[in-house]
Amino acid sequence: MTQEAPARPRRVWIIANPVSGRGRGEQRALELVRAFQARGVTPELLRTSARGDAPRLARMASSADLVVVIGGDGTLGEVLSGLTDPSTPVGLLPCGTANVLARALELPTRPERAAEVFLRGRLQELDVARVGARLAHLVVGIGFDARIVQNVEAHRRGPITKAVYVTGALRTLARYRPVPLRVTLDGGLLPGEVGMVWIANTPKYADFLRFARDTRLDDGLWEVYLFPTGRRAELVRALVHGLLPRLPGSPIRVHRARSIRVEAAEPVPYQVDGDLGGTTPVSVELLPERFRLVVP
Protein backbone atom coordinates (compact mmCIF):
# COMPACT_ATOMS: atom_id res chain seq x y z
CA MET A 1 0.00 0.00 0.00
CA THR A 2 1.07 3.62 -0.53
CA GLN A 3 1.18 5.82 2.58
CA GLU A 4 1.50 9.53 3.24
CA ALA A 5 5.07 10.75 3.47
CA PRO A 6 6.60 11.19 6.93
CA ALA A 7 7.77 14.52 8.30
CA ARG A 8 10.40 16.36 6.28
CA PRO A 9 13.68 14.49 6.87
CA ARG A 10 16.47 16.34 8.67
CA ARG A 11 19.17 13.65 8.66
CA VAL A 12 19.70 12.42 5.10
CA TRP A 13 22.38 9.92 4.17
CA ILE A 14 23.26 9.27 0.53
CA ILE A 15 24.90 5.95 -0.36
CA ALA A 16 26.28 6.21 -3.88
CA ASN A 17 27.88 3.69 -6.20
CA PRO A 18 30.23 6.10 -8.01
CA VAL A 19 30.96 3.73 -10.91
CA SER A 20 27.31 2.91 -11.65
CA GLY A 21 25.88 4.05 -14.95
CA ARG A 22 29.33 3.88 -16.59
CA GLY A 23 30.72 6.31 -14.04
CA ARG A 24 27.74 8.67 -13.88
CA GLY A 25 27.04 7.75 -10.26
CA GLU A 26 29.66 10.15 -8.87
CA GLN A 27 28.35 13.14 -10.82
CA ARG A 28 24.73 12.41 -9.92
CA ALA A 29 25.68 12.11 -6.26
CA LEU A 30 27.28 15.57 -6.28
CA GLU A 31 24.28 17.03 -8.13
CA LEU A 32 21.89 15.49 -5.61
CA VAL A 33 23.89 16.89 -2.68
CA ARG A 34 23.58 20.36 -4.22
CA ALA A 35 19.86 19.86 -4.84
CA PHE A 36 19.31 18.94 -1.17
CA GLN A 37 21.42 21.89 0.02
CA ALA A 38 19.36 24.25 -2.13
CA ARG A 39 16.32 23.03 -0.21
CA GLY A 40 17.84 23.53 3.22
CA VAL A 41 19.05 19.97 3.86
CA THR A 42 22.71 19.03 4.17
CA PRO A 43 23.12 15.28 3.48
CA GLU A 44 25.94 12.96 4.43
CA LEU A 45 27.48 11.39 1.29
CA LEU A 46 28.97 7.89 1.46
CA ARG A 47 30.54 6.15 -1.53
CA THR A 48 30.85 2.42 -2.09
CA SER A 49 34.32 1.19 -3.00
CA ALA A 50 33.53 -2.39 -4.09
CA ARG A 51 30.68 -4.87 -4.49
CA GLY A 52 29.36 -5.79 -1.05
CA ASP A 53 30.36 -2.47 0.52
CA ALA A 54 26.86 -0.94 0.62
CA PRO A 55 25.52 -3.05 3.55
CA ARG A 56 28.31 -1.73 5.79
CA LEU A 57 27.51 1.85 4.81
CA ALA A 58 23.79 1.25 5.37
CA ARG A 59 24.51 0.10 8.92
CA MET A 60 26.39 3.36 9.50
CA ALA A 61 23.25 5.25 8.43
CA SER A 62 21.10 3.76 11.21
CA SER A 63 20.30 7.21 12.66
CA ALA A 64 19.09 8.69 9.36
CA ASP A 65 15.56 9.93 8.69
CA LEU A 66 16.08 9.10 5.00
CA VAL A 67 18.60 6.92 3.17
CA VAL A 68 19.02 7.65 -0.54
CA VAL A 69 20.61 5.10 -2.86
CA ILE A 70 22.37 6.13 -6.08
CA GLY A 71 23.01 3.10 -8.27
CA GLY A 72 21.22 0.16 -9.80
CA ASP A 73 19.03 -2.64 -8.50
CA GLY A 74 22.05 -4.44 -7.04
CA THR A 75 23.16 -1.44 -4.98
CA LEU A 76 19.62 -0.96 -3.67
CA GLY A 77 19.47 -4.62 -2.63
CA GLU A 78 22.76 -4.31 -0.74
CA VAL A 79 21.53 -1.21 1.10
CA LEU A 80 18.28 -2.92 2.11
CA SER A 81 20.24 -5.87 3.48
CA GLY A 82 22.30 -3.54 5.66
CA LEU A 83 19.53 -1.38 7.10
CA THR A 84 19.08 -1.97 10.82
CA ASP A 85 15.48 -0.69 10.72
CA PRO A 86 13.31 -1.72 7.70
CA SER A 87 10.93 1.16 8.44
CA THR A 88 13.59 3.74 7.53
CA PRO A 89 12.42 5.52 4.36
CA VAL A 90 14.62 4.74 1.36
CA GLY A 91 14.92 6.83 -1.78
CA LEU A 92 16.38 5.62 -5.07
CA LEU A 93 18.06 7.71 -7.76
CA PRO A 94 18.47 5.10 -10.51
CA CYS A 95 21.85 4.89 -12.18
CA GLY A 96 22.29 1.26 -13.19
CA THR A 97 22.00 -0.98 -16.23
CA ALA A 98 18.38 -2.13 -16.01
CA ASN A 99 16.81 -0.06 -13.19
CA VAL A 100 13.85 -2.44 -13.10
CA LEU A 101 12.31 -1.25 -9.84
CA ALA A 102 12.79 2.42 -10.70
CA ARG A 103 10.96 1.93 -13.98
CA ALA A 104 8.13 0.04 -12.29
CA LEU A 105 7.68 2.91 -9.82
CA GLU A 106 8.32 5.66 -12.41
CA LEU A 107 11.07 7.21 -10.32
CA PRO A 108 12.76 10.37 -11.66
CA THR A 109 16.31 10.12 -12.95
CA ARG A 110 17.25 13.81 -12.68
CA PRO A 111 18.73 14.79 -9.28
CA GLU A 112 16.72 18.05 -9.05
CA ARG A 113 13.40 16.27 -9.53
CA ALA A 114 14.50 13.37 -7.34
CA ALA A 115 15.28 15.69 -4.42
CA GLU A 116 11.73 17.05 -4.60
CA VAL A 117 10.33 13.52 -4.47
CA PHE A 118 12.56 12.53 -1.55
CA LEU A 119 11.38 15.51 0.49
CA ARG A 120 7.70 15.55 -0.54
CA GLY A 121 6.83 12.09 -1.86
CA ARG A 122 4.84 9.21 -0.44
CA LEU A 123 5.90 5.87 0.99
CA GLN A 124 5.46 2.66 -1.00
CA GLU A 125 5.82 -0.58 0.94
CA LEU A 126 7.98 -3.28 -0.63
CA ASP A 127 7.97 -7.03 -0.02
CA VAL A 128 11.50 -8.40 0.36
CA ALA A 129 12.62 -12.03 0.47
CA ARG A 130 15.59 -13.72 2.07
CA VAL A 131 17.65 -15.96 -0.22
CA GLY A 132 20.39 -17.55 1.85
CA ALA A 133 22.45 -14.70 3.30
CA ARG A 134 21.06 -12.20 0.76
CA LEU A 135 17.88 -10.20 0.29
CA ALA A 136 15.92 -10.05 -2.96
CA HIS A 137 13.40 -7.38 -3.93
CA LEU A 138 13.01 -8.11 -7.67
CA VAL A 139 13.45 -11.66 -8.90
CA VAL A 140 15.13 -14.99 -8.24
CA GLY A 141 15.69 -17.08 -11.36
CA ILE A 142 16.69 -20.74 -11.41
CA GLY A 143 17.78 -22.18 -14.75
CA PHE A 144 18.24 -20.40 -18.06
CA ASP A 145 18.42 -16.77 -16.91
CA ALA A 146 20.87 -17.69 -14.16
CA ARG A 147 23.03 -19.40 -16.81
CA ILE A 148 22.99 -16.11 -18.73
CA VAL A 149 24.20 -14.21 -15.66
CA GLN A 150 26.86 -16.88 -15.14
CA ASN A 151 27.96 -16.52 -18.77
CA VAL A 152 28.05 -12.72 -18.59
CA GLU A 153 30.16 -12.72 -15.44
CA ALA A 154 32.58 -15.21 -16.99
CA HIS A 155 33.06 -13.14 -20.17
CA ARG A 156 32.61 -9.56 -18.98
CA ARG A 157 35.27 -7.00 -19.76
CA GLY A 158 34.47 -3.62 -18.25
CA PRO A 159 30.96 -2.23 -17.54
CA ILE A 160 27.91 -4.46 -18.04
CA THR A 161 25.44 -3.14 -20.62
CA LYS A 162 22.17 -4.48 -22.04
CA ALA A 163 24.07 -5.49 -25.18
CA VAL A 164 26.34 -7.66 -23.01
CA TYR A 165 23.28 -9.50 -21.68
CA VAL A 166 21.92 -10.04 -25.19
CA THR A 167 25.23 -11.55 -26.28
CA GLY A 168 25.33 -13.69 -23.16
CA ALA A 169 21.78 -14.90 -23.81
CA LEU A 170 22.64 -16.00 -27.35
CA ARG A 171 25.77 -17.83 -26.17
CA THR A 172 23.79 -19.55 -23.42
CA LEU A 173 20.89 -20.51 -25.66
CA ALA A 174 23.19 -22.27 -28.12
CA ARG A 175 24.36 -24.79 -25.53
CA TYR A 176 21.60 -24.74 -22.95
CA ARG A 177 20.40 -28.00 -21.43
CA PRO A 178 17.62 -27.67 -18.82
CA VAL A 179 17.86 -29.72 -15.63
CA PRO A 180 14.57 -30.95 -14.06
CA LEU A 181 13.62 -28.96 -10.96
CA ARG A 182 11.42 -29.88 -8.00
CA VAL A 183 9.42 -27.01 -6.48
CA THR A 184 7.89 -26.68 -3.01
CA LEU A 185 5.44 -23.83 -2.35
CA ASP A 186 4.49 -22.90 1.21
CA GLY A 187 5.46 -26.37 2.42
CA GLY A 188 3.69 -28.36 -0.31
CA LEU A 189 5.71 -30.21 -2.96
CA LEU A 190 4.25 -29.65 -6.43
CA PRO A 191 3.69 -32.79 -8.53
CA GLY A 192 6.17 -33.50 -11.30
CA GLU A 193 9.18 -31.45 -12.32
CA VAL A 194 9.74 -28.24 -14.30
CA GLY A 195 12.53 -26.92 -16.50
CA MET A 196 12.89 -23.37 -15.15
CA VAL A 197 11.55 -21.20 -12.32
CA TRP A 198 11.20 -17.45 -11.92
CA ILE A 199 10.19 -16.05 -8.53
CA ALA A 200 9.30 -12.39 -9.01
CA ASN A 201 7.97 -9.39 -7.10
CA THR A 202 7.74 -6.78 -9.87
CA PRO A 203 4.98 -6.58 -12.51
CA LYS A 204 7.42 -7.21 -15.35
CA TYR A 205 10.45 -9.43 -15.71
CA ALA A 206 13.52 -7.41 -16.84
CA ASP A 207 11.10 -4.49 -17.30
CA PHE A 208 9.66 -5.72 -20.61
CA LEU A 209 8.09 -9.18 -20.12
CA ARG A 210 4.73 -9.47 -18.34
CA PHE A 211 3.35 -12.91 -17.52
CA ALA A 212 0.77 -12.18 -14.81
CA ARG A 213 -1.77 -9.45 -14.12
CA ASP A 214 -2.70 -7.77 -10.83
CA THR A 215 0.80 -8.11 -9.40
CA ARG A 216 1.77 -5.83 -6.52
CA LEU A 217 4.95 -4.98 -4.68
CA ASP A 218 3.33 -5.16 -1.25
CA ASP A 219 0.70 -7.92 -1.25
CA GLY A 220 2.72 -10.34 0.88
CA LEU A 221 3.11 -12.83 -1.99
CA TRP A 222 5.55 -13.32 -4.85
CA GLU A 223 4.62 -14.70 -8.25
CA VAL A 224 6.19 -18.08 -9.08
CA TYR A 225 6.47 -18.74 -12.82
CA LEU A 226 6.96 -22.38 -13.78
CA PHE A 227 8.29 -23.37 -17.20
CA PRO A 228 7.27 -27.01 -17.82
CA THR A 229 10.36 -28.03 -19.83
CA GLY A 230 12.65 -24.99 -20.09
CA ARG A 231 13.64 -26.06 -23.61
CA ARG A 232 14.51 -23.56 -26.31
CA ALA A 233 11.20 -23.74 -28.18
CA GLU A 234 9.33 -23.16 -24.94
CA LEU A 235 11.55 -20.23 -24.03
CA VAL A 236 10.83 -18.60 -27.39
CA ARG A 237 7.08 -19.12 -26.90
CA ALA A 238 7.34 -17.61 -23.42
CA LEU A 239 9.19 -14.60 -24.83
CA VAL A 240 6.37 -13.97 -27.32
CA HIS A 241 3.71 -14.27 -24.62
CA GLY A 242 5.69 -12.00 -22.31
CA LEU A 243 5.72 -9.33 -25.00
CA LEU A 244 2.05 -9.98 -25.93
CA PRO A 245 0.43 -10.97 -22.61
CA ARG A 246 -3.10 -11.09 -24.06
CA LEU A 247 -2.10 -13.79 -26.53
CA PRO A 248 -3.69 -17.12 -25.46
CA GLY A 249 -1.78 -20.34 -24.93
CA SER A 250 1.08 -19.30 -22.66
CA PRO A 251 3.29 -22.27 -21.68
CA ILE A 252 3.94 -20.80 -18.22
CA ARG A 253 2.05 -21.75 -15.06
CA VAL A 254 1.76 -19.05 -12.39
CA HIS A 255 1.43 -19.56 -8.62
CA ARG A 256 1.73 -17.18 -5.67
CA ALA A 257 3.55 -18.04 -2.45
CA ARG A 258 5.50 -16.71 0.54
CA SER A 259 7.92 -19.63 0.85
CA ILE A 260 9.55 -21.34 -2.13
CA ARG A 261 12.19 -24.05 -2.31
CA VAL A 262 13.74 -25.38 -5.52
CA GLU A 263 15.85 -28.54 -5.70
CA ALA A 264 17.48 -30.60 -8.44
CA ALA A 265 19.41 -33.83 -8.83
CA GLU A 266 22.50 -31.80 -9.82
CA PRO A 267 23.57 -28.23 -8.98
CA VAL A 268 21.67 -25.62 -11.02
CA PRO A 269 22.69 -21.94 -10.81
CA TYR A 270 20.31 -19.28 -9.55
CA GLN A 271 20.46 -15.49 -9.78
CA VAL A 272 19.25 -12.93 -7.26
CA ASP A 273 18.18 -9.55 -8.67
CA GLY A 274 20.55 -9.99 -11.62
CA ASP A 275 23.59 -11.21 -9.67
CA LEU A 276 24.75 -14.82 -9.52
CA GLY A 277 23.63 -16.23 -6.17
CA GLY A 278 24.83 -19.85 -6.09
CA THR A 279 23.42 -23.25 -6.99
CA THR A 280 20.46 -25.33 -5.91
CA PRO A 281 19.00 -26.18 -3.52
CA VAL A 282 17.72 -22.67 -2.89
CA SER A 283 15.04 -21.38 -0.53
CA VAL A 284 13.22 -18.05 -0.90
CA GLU A 285 11.37 -16.77 2.19
CA LEU A 286 9.43 -13.51 2.31
CA LEU A 287 10.30 -11.41 5.34
CA PRO A 288 7.46 -10.60 7.74
CA GLU A 289 8.31 -6.89 7.64
CA ARG A 290 8.19 -4.65 4.57
CA PHE A 291 10.66 -1.98 3.56
CA ARG A 292 9.49 1.50 2.59
CA LEU A 293 10.43 3.40 -0.55
CA VAL A 294 9.84 7.10 -1.22
CA VAL A 295 7.96 7.46 -4.51
CA PRO A 296 6.35 10.36 -6.45
CATH class belonging to 2-126: alpha beta
Q: Is the peptide bond between 203 and the residue preceding it cis, with omega within 30 degrees of 0?
A: no
What mean pLDDT do residues 149-157 have?
75
Render pLDDT for 233-269 as a digit per residue (tens, 0 to 9): 888 887 887 777 777 778 889 999 999 999 999 999 9
Coil, strand, or helix at residue 32?
helix
What letter represents residue 292's amino acid?
A: R
Residue 288, pLDDT above cutoff 60: yes
Give pLDDT, residue 4. 61
Q: Global pTM? A: 0.86
Every domain of the chain and the residues it spans:
2-126, 134-288
Render pLDDT for 175-227 as a digit per residue (tens, 0 to 9): 888 899 999 999 999 999 999 999 999 877 766 677 677 788 999 999 999 99
What mean pLDDT do residues 130-156 have?
87
Give pLDDT, residue 176. 83
User: For residues 195, 174, 284 and 215, what is the CA-based torsion angle, rounded to 10 degrees?
Assistant: -80
Render pLDDT for 169-189 as a digit per residue (tens, 0 to 9): 778 777 888 899 999 999 999
> Right CATH number for 134-288 from 3.40.50.10540, 2.60.200.40, 3.20.20.370, 3.40.50.1970?
2.60.200.40
Give pLDDT, residue 3. 62
User: Where does the chain show beta strands of DSSP type E?
Assistant: 2-3, 12-16, 44-47, 66-71, 89-94, 122-126, 129-131, 134-136, 139-142, 181-185, 188-189, 196-200, 222-227, 253-257, 259-264, 269-272, 275-279, 282-286, 291-295
